[in-house]
Chain A
Amino acid sequence: GQQVMQIPQYQHVQEGEDFTTYCNSSTTLSNIQWYKQRPGGHPVFLIQLVKSGEVKKQKRLTFQFGEAKKNSSLHITATQTTDVGTYFCAGGGAGSYQLTFGKGTKLSVIP
Chain B
Amino acid sequence: GAGVSQSPSNKVTEKGKDVELRCDPISGHTALYWYRQSLGQGLEFLIYFQGNSAPDKSGLPSDRFSAERTGGSVSTLTIQRTQQEDSAVYLCASSFLATNEKLFFGSGTQLSVL
Contacts and interface: CB of A to CB of B under 8 A. Distances in A.
A99 B103 contact: yes
B79 to A, nearest CB: 20
Contact of A42 (B41, B48, B100, B108): B108
Given A42-B91, A43-B43, A88-B42, A97 B104 contact: no
Contact of A45 (B45, B98, B102): B102
A101 B106 CA distance: 17
Q: State which size class the interface on B falls in.
A: 20 to 34
Contact of B100 (A41, A44, A92): A92
Interface in B48-70: 48, 50, 55-56
Interface of B: 31, 35, 40-43, 45, 48, 50, 55-56, 91, 93, 98-100, 102-108
Interface of A: 6, 30-31, 33, 35, 41-45, 48, 50, 88, 90, 92, 95-104, 106
